[in-house]
């Protein structure tokens, strides 16, 4: 049983690490603010969550487990909230997301007034 | 492997420092300064200095970033475009000065013993006494807390007085008369429903965590400085979301100012009580019939004093800055 837990834990840790890297690549490569923020928030929640669950499977005592669960709850509460606030602030200050235009090329939609 | 991690973190620190110098957008600079604090904290963790790392994370990455952001709301987002019109502006001189100073400092480190060397003065002077005897003399597991609050009680008292003085300085310089008649202003964040709800959930947890850090400081990393900063950040979060007027209803200006003095007073009174009981200033052995119980009591009270002062001074600084920037008319 503990062998399974160890393998599962390492799988989660590696997967979380890979998601962190993919999030950073996305942050650098994606075309506009909103898509970049999407990449960053994947790192915030999914990657961190996976790493934390991976660590939980290796927790030696219940107190460590409890602390890790608390960190996970905190991260899951704050990460999406921060992302939401950031997106809303950007939208309020008039930054338009890139949308596929008529020619199929991504372009900022200037006609519609930014939905709030 | 560990030295590889050291090299990575230190080069990230250098990169961040260069970025701070080069970037003109002050919001970005503030964020970079926060990242710098977090990187330093990680480096301290690698060096097994968990208490210092905790302080650096709470102060360097947390509250100072917040306070600088508040200042930015007064000063504006961008650096002044150029200072070239001044004729006596000589960047070369400054560069030479900095280079020479840096070279001297690096030269000075050549004589320092390696990190963790057994015969280094840091390891041979008083540390053996602290490490061997603190468990019997002070009776708490965290040696850092017993050094900070008991063996080096004077130094910590000095630090608390410095923080208190900083609070007084801020009040003396920028407290406006208008603070008694608060500006009627709806908070900028009033339409952020998600933020408000999540913060309402988080603020009690932040305060509970602060209390945990405060009273767990004798058993693990933590103590009054970190706890005070965390506690203040809960109030600052509230003030940011619900506006200064609402926050002042929760913590009255006068009360916070009194509390900031009360912390220092509590610290000093512990010392005076020790003197009255026949010991020297801040000698907690004399606080109780049993020296170890006296030490425990002394450290508890002293850390409480530190926490109260730090928390209230941080709240004072934030409130004063915010009131000032709102008075200036530009809430942005």
pLDDT digits (tens, 9 = 90+) for B122-144: 778 888 888 888 777 777 888 88
pLDDT, residue A110, reads: 53
Span of B88-97, B269-278, B299-308 with lowest mean pLDDT? B88-97
Going by C-alpha positions, the residue among B243, B223, B247 that lies closest to residue B235 is B247
A81 contacts on B by Cβ (under 8 Å) = 194-195, 198
Residue B262 burial (10 A CB sphere; 0-12, 13-18, 19+): middle
Residue A48 main-chain phi, psi, to 5 deg: -60, -40
What is the pLDDT averaged over residues A103-112? Answer: 59
* Residue pair A83/A41 in contact by the 8 Å Cβ criterion: yes
A77 contacts on B by Cβ (under 8 Å) = 198, 201-202
* Residue pair B206/B36 in contact by the 8 Å Cβ criterion: no
The H or E element that residue A3 is part of is helix A2-29
Structure tokens at A63: 């107190």
* Residue pair B157/B225 in contact by the 8 Å Cβ criterion: no
Q: What percent of chain A has pLDDT over 90?
A: 35
User: Is the dihedral angle over the CA atoms B74, B79, B82, B88 positive or is it negative?
Assistant: positive
Site from A85, A86, A93 to mutate, B interface, most B CB atoms within 10 angstroms: A85
Span of B4-8, B18-22, B59-63, B82-86 with lowest mean pLDDT? B82-86
pLDDT, residue B7, reads: 93
CA–CA distance from B287 to each of B144, B224, B284 (Å)? 21, 20, 5
Average of per-residue pLDDT values in chain A: 84
Structure tokens at B248: 């002042």
* Residue pair B140/B219 in contact by the 8 Å Cβ criterion: yes
Whether the per-residue pLDDT at A8 is higher than 80: the answer is yes
Distance from CA of B332 to the nearest CA of A (A): 12
pLDDT, residue A115, reads: 43
Q: Does A85 touch chain B (CB under 8 A)?
A: yes
Return d(Cα B118, Cα B259) in angstroms, integer. 44
Beta strands, E only, chain A: 98-100, 106-108
Residue A111 burial (10 A CB sphere; 0-12, 13-18, 19+): exposed
Distance from CA of B272 to the nearest CA of A (A): 40
Name the pLDDT band for A47 (thresholds 50, 70, 90). very high
Yes or no, beta carbons of A77 and B198 under 8 Å apart: yes
Whether the per-residue pLDDT at B85 is higher than 70: the answer is no
Name the pLDDT band for A42 (thresholds 50, 70, 90). confident
Whether the per-residue pLDDT at A19 is higher than 90: the answer is yes
Yes or no, beta carbons of A81 and B194 under 8 Å apart: yes
CB nearest B192 (choices: A74, A77, A88): A88
pLDDT, residue B73, reads: 77
Q: Say if strands A106-108 and A98-100 run parallel, antiparallel, or are unpaired.
A: antiparallel
Yes or no, beta carbons of A84 and B201 under 8 Å apart: no
Supply the ipTM of this predicted assembly: 0.76
Scanning every residue of chain A, which has its alpha carbon at the shortest distance from the alpha carbon of B196? A81
Return d(Cα B125, Cα B131) in angstroms, integer. 12
């Amino acid at each position: 049983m503990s062998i399974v837990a160890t393998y599962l834990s390492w799988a989660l840790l590696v997967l979380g690490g890979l998601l962190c890297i993919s999030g950073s690549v996305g942050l650098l490569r994606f075309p506009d603010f909103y898509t970049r923020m999407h990449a960053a928030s994947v790192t915030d929640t999914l990657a961190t969550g996976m790493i934390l669950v991976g660590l939980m499977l290796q927790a030696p005592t219940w107190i460590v487990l409890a602390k890790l669960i608390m960190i996970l709850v905190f991260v899951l509460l704050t990460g999406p909230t921060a992302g939401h606030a950031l997106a809303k602030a950007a939208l309020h200050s008039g930054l338009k997301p890139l949308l596929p235009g008529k020619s199929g090329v991504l372009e900022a939609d200037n006609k519609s007034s930014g939905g709030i | 492997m560990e030295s590889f991690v050291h090299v990575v973190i230190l080069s990230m620190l250098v990169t961040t420092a260069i970025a701070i110098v080069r970037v003109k957008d002050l919001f970005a600079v503030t964020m970079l300064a926060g990242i710098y604090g977090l990187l330093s904290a990680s480096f301290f963790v690698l060096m097994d200095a968990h208490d210092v790392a905790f302080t650096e994370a709470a102060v360097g990455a947390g509250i100072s970033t917040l306070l600088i952001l508040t200042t930015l709301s007064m000063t504006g987002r961008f650096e002044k475009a150029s200072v070239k019109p001044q004729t006596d502006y000589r960047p070369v001189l400054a560069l030479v000065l900095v280079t020479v100073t840096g070279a001297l400092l690096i030269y000075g480190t050549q004589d320092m013993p390696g990190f963790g060397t057994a015969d280094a003065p840091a390891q041979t002077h008083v540390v053996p006494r602290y490490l061997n005897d603190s468990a019997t003399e002070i009776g708490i597991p965290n040696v850092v807390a017993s050094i900070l609050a008991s063996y080096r009680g004077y130094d910590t008292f000095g630090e608390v007085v410095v923080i208190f003085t900083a609070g007084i300085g801020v009040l003396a310089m920028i407290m406006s008369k208008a603070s008694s008649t608060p500006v009627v202003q709806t908070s900028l964040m009033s339409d952020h429903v998600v933020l408000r709800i999540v913060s309402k959930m988080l603020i009690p947890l932040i305060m509970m965590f602060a209390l945990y850090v405060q009273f767990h400081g004798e058993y693990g990393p933590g103590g009054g400085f970190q706890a005070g900063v965390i506690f203040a950040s809960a109030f600052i979060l509230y003030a940011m979301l619900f506006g200064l007027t609402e926050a002042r209803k929760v913590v009255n200006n006068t009360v916070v100012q009194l509390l900031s003095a009360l912390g220092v007073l509590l610290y000093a009174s512990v010392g005076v009580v020790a003197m009255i009981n026949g010991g020297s200033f801040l000698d907690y052995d004399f606080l109780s019939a049993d020296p170890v119980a006296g030490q425990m009591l002394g450290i508890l009270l002293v850390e409480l004093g530190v926490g109260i002062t730090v928390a209230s001074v941080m709240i004072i600084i934030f409130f004063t800055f915010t009131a000032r920037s709102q008075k200036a008319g530009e809430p942005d």
